[in-house]
């Protein structure tokens, strides 16, 4: 795990950061539907799992910009930017109606990421316990698939004053609308390091990466 400490006096969001870490500690979230038609088609044609393909593209998007790789060390009050962040996703166990966290390592090499993530999921299916290991995985982001519903909105609430900078991403079932497959995605970021533009940009980048990946 490598990171650089950000000089808060030189940080390009200095004023916003100060306001939303001192005066008004809060997060911001947004839900929108993205067009996944091409990714659905690609997954079927290549007989690969849509879930892992989307997880790869999501990881690529969140690693493409420093704003999405920020962290905060409350012990030293340091703002940091990680060189890379990795997805923490989940396996759901039907028989117990519980889930198990899965730590997959992001790799820009799609084939390697796909193989490793597929193995991670299969291994997690054998475990019925909820083991979060935040201490050993500080540079990870939350990625949760809500497979039972194509929802319209979703909110994740964290305690006031909790400076949690890692992205929290949810997505639901895709559904057909006007001959296209659209999927709800929810992006939550701390307002100190992100505003409406940066949240909305995740959706724009996802659709751009899907087009590039499937072409």
pLDDT digit string (tens) for 56-79? 999 999 999 999 999 999 889 999
For 137, the token pair is 């995985």
Pairing of strands 3-5, 78-82: antiparallel
pLDDT at 154: 94
Region 32-59: what's the mean pLDDT?
98
- Closest CA relative to residue 154, chosen from 165, 144, 164, 162: 144
Q: Is the pLDDT of residue 162 over 80?
A: no
pLDDT at 148: 96
Q: Provide the terminal-to-terminal Cα distance of the chain, rounded to the nearest Å.
A: 33
Question: In this structure, which topology does domain 3-214 adopt according to CATH?
Answer: Chloramphenicol Acetyltransferase (3.30.559)
Confidence of residue 181 (pLDDT cuts 50, 70, 90): very high
pLDDT at 161: 64
| Domain layout of the chain by residue ranges | 3-214
More confident site: 200 or 127: 200
Supply the pTM of this predicted model.
0.95
Q: Is the pLDDT of residue 9 over 90?
A: yes
pLDDT digit string (tens) for 93-140? 999 999 999 999 999 999 999 999 999 999 999 987 787 777 778 899
Strands (E), 104-199: 140-146, 168-172, 175-177, 180-190
Q: Is the pLDDT of residue 192 over 90?
A: yes
Confidence of residue 157 (pLDDT cuts 50, 70, 90): confident
């Amino acid at each position: 795990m490598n990171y650089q400490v950000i000089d808060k006096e030189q940080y390009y969001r200095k004023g916003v950061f100060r306001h939303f870490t001192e005066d008004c500690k809060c997060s911001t979230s947004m839900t929108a539907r993205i067009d996944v038609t091409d990714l659905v088609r690609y997954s079927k044609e290549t007989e690969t799992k849509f879930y892992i393909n989307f997880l790869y593209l999501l990881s690529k998007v969140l690693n493409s910009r420093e704003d999405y790789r920020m962290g905060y060390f409350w012990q030293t009050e340091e703002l940091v930017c990680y060189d890379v962040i990795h997805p923490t996703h989940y396996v759901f166990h039907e028989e117990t109606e519980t889930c198990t966290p899965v730590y997959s390592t992001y790799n820009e090499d799609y084939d390697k990421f796909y193989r490793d993530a597929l193995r991670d999921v299969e291994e997690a299916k054998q475990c019925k316990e909820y083991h979060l290991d935040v201490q050993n995985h500080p540079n990870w982001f939350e990625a949760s698939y809500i497979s039972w519903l194509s929802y319209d909105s979703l909110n994740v609430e964290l305690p006031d004053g909790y400076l949690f900078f890692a992205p929290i991403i949810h997505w639901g079932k895709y559904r057909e609308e006007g001959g296209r497959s659209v999927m709800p995605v929810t992006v939550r970021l701390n307002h100190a390091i992100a505003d409406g533009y940066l949240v909305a940009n995740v959706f724009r980048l996802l659709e751009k990466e899907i087009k590039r990946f499937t072409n």
